[in-house]
Amino acid sequence: MCAPSGAPEVCRRLGELEARGGRVRRVDSVGLMTEIGVYGTFAELLQFPAYFGCNWDAMVDCLDDLCGAVTGGVGVAVVIEGADRLLEAEHFPLFVSVLCQGADRANSAVDLDGFPLDRLAIEQYFVFEFGEFDAERITRRLEQPDLTVAKGHGCVSAVLDPAVWHQGNV
């Protein structure tokens, strides 16, 4: 989700997650300006295992496998502060897609083949907070074949397009 910094709806949802035992992690976008920065920052912030491969596919896998210490056994939200500086970064659309992939897998109780997992679904959310929120500009930047992007309620949301990602699982 992309939202203005301090948006009441985002604050409410984060508070509800924490009230249920989930965790909220905040990170400044300065360390996310390069792909290598994204890998290192997320590995540290979310305690990825030492064998994390420092690539987008490995990041999706690690987001899917977050442990209870990171999620409180309930869920985790990562709030990326100062997202304005990321908007024009070359990797921004791919970064959002990877986060959507990780969240989609973590939030699901079935694997990619549609079989039940041996774990409960874990709530996982990513919030890009913007100082200067321009819904049209953000939407244009995120539009890509694998995402469904929607504007509404003072935010822009992106989720995986099920026609692309869940072809055999619908």
Q: Could you report the per-residue pLDDT of 10-48, keeping only the tens digit for each?
A: 999 999 999 999 999 999 999 999 999 999 999 999 999
Calculated CA dihedral for residues 39, 53, 69, 78, nearest 10 degrees: 30
Instruction: Specify the pTM.
Output: 0.88
CA-CA distance, 86 to 129, in Å (whole number)? 11
How far is CA 97 from each of CA 55, 116, 133, rounded to the nearest angstrom? 13, 24, 20
- Residue showing tokens 């300006």: 33
pLDDT tens digits along 113-156: 666 656 566 789 999 999 999 999 999 999 988 899 999 888 99
Query: What's the confidence (pLDDT) of residue 170?
Result: 39
Instruction: Select from 138, 147, 121, 137 the least CA-distant residue to 80.
Output: 138
Q: Are strands 147-152 and 155-160 parallel, antiparallel or unpaired?
A: antiparallel
CA-CA distance, 153 to 86, in Å (whole number)? 22
Would you say 37 and 94 are in contact if contact means Cβ atoms under 8 Å apart?
no
CA-CA distance, 75 to 42, in Å (whole number)? 16
Asked if the model's pLDDT at residue 169 lies above 50, the reply is no
Would you say 124 and 66 are in contact if contact means Cβ atoms under 8 Å apart?
yes
